[in-house]
Amino acid sequence: MTAASVAVIGGTGMNTWPGFEGSGALDGDNAWGSPSAPLQQGRFADTPVLFLARHGQGHHIPPHRINFRANLQALADAGVRRVIAAAAVGSMNEAVPPGALALPEDCIDYTWGRAHSYSDGPDLPLHHIGFTEPFSPLRERMLEVATAASVPIHPGGVLGVTQGPRLETAAEVRRLRRDGCDLVGMTTMPEAALARELGLDYAVVAVCVNWAAGVGSGDIHGEIERYAAEGMDRLRQLLTAVLPVLAEDDAR
Ligand code: HPA
């Protein structure tokens, strides 16, 4: 067990976490396998927190190969109750330019072939989880804290989750737009649904690093290089404000 009730899952560009003071690691192995990396125990903004590198320590695990079930189970086994999931995304909404953060309110799952449920065997319970609001109530709490601390963040958006690891075609992004998506990433599903199956409070912080395919100048990799650091700085600002408040909530 750990004293941390909150975990941060770090995505692309966040395999290490400046400002995080590590104090040990848990291997986190469980019935579903090994998590992407050991769970790092430590403190950020003087608050106990667990950190998990979603793509592994050396960023070697592609989105479709992540063992999402082992990752979420490891966090639940460690005593975590709330999960802040950082995810790099492309944007098709001009209100969320590269370098900006968003707290999406909903998502559409375009992934396939991923192990996406714990209800997956004759001896395992079958749960039809409610998923109308995939990121509540942690999302609302983070939004309140970000607003009070004047951390700039787009308060919503629909996140389309694609299979990857390739980026989308321009026609795929036009379809995402028609479907009502504002942002596109590769890892929020099945992560968010598995968190819900385990009863974890989960919210995604989308870190916009590029315009989606066919939306901007076309130099997606150049944009990612240019804007990733800015997005990560904003994410650090957000976590500095949010983590102490969540710890206070839990102490009540
Ligand atoms: N598409 C999908 N996932 C992403 C993107 C994108 O444009 N940028 C960062 N992650």
pLDDT in tens, 112-146: 999 999 999 999 999 999 999 999 899 999 999 99
Contacts of 5 (CB under 8 A, 6+ apart): 48, 79, 80, 81, 82, 246, 247, 250
Name the residue of 107, 209, 215, 226 to mutate for ligand 1: max ligand atoms within 8 A of Cβ.
209
Structure confidence at residue 15 (pLDDT): 61
Task: Report the distance separating Cα 82 and Cα 97, nearest Å.
Answer: 28
CA of 186 from ligand 1 middle (Å) equals 7
Q: Which residue minimizes the CA distance to atom 2 of ligand 1?
A: 185
The pTM of the full predicted model, rounded to 2 decimals, is: 0.96
Which atom, in ligand 1's list, is nearest to the CA of 185?
3
Beta strands 201-211; 47-53: pairing state = unpaired
CA of 221 from ligand 1 middle (Å) equals 10
Beta strands 21-26; 39-44: pairing state = antiparallel
Q: Which residue minimizes the CA distance to atom 9 of ligand 1?
A: 89
For the chain, the average pLDDT equals 94
Give yes or no for residue 105 having a pLDDT over 80: yes
Chain-centroid distance, C-alpha 244: 19
Structure confidence at residue 151 (pLDDT): 96
Task: Report the distance separating Cα 168 and Cα 171, nearest Å.
Answer: 8
CA of 196 from ligand 1 middle (Å) equals 24
Domains parsed from the chain with CATH numbers: 6-118+135-251 (3.40.50.1580)
Structure confidence at residue 166 (pLDDT): 98
Mean pLDDT (whole number) for 67-94: 98
Mean pLDDT (whole number) for 100-118: 98
Beta strands 21-26; 6-10: pairing state = unpaired
For residues 79, 19, 11 and 243, what is the CA-based torsion angle, rounded to 10 degrees?
A: 50
Q: What are the b/e assignments for 39-54, b being 16+ CB within 10 Å?
A: bbbbbbbebbbbbbbb
Give yes or no for residue 2 having a pLDDT over 50: no
Beta carbon of 167 within 6 Å of any ligand 1 atom: yes
Q: What are the b/e assignments for 212-234, b being 16+ CB within 10 Å?
A: bbbbbeeebeebbeebbebbbeb
Beta carbon of 67 within 6 Å of any ligand 1 atom: no
Beta carbon of 246 within 6 Å of any ligand 1 atom: no
Out of 5-9, 94-98, 149-153, 222-226, pick the least confident.
Answer: 222-226
- For residue 117, count other CB atoms closer than 10 A to its CB: 16
Beta carbon of 203 within 6 Å of any ligand 1 atom: no
The closest alpha carbon to 144, from 195, 203, 96, 97, belongs to 203
Task: Report the distance separating Cα 18 and Cα 22, nearest Å.
Answer: 10
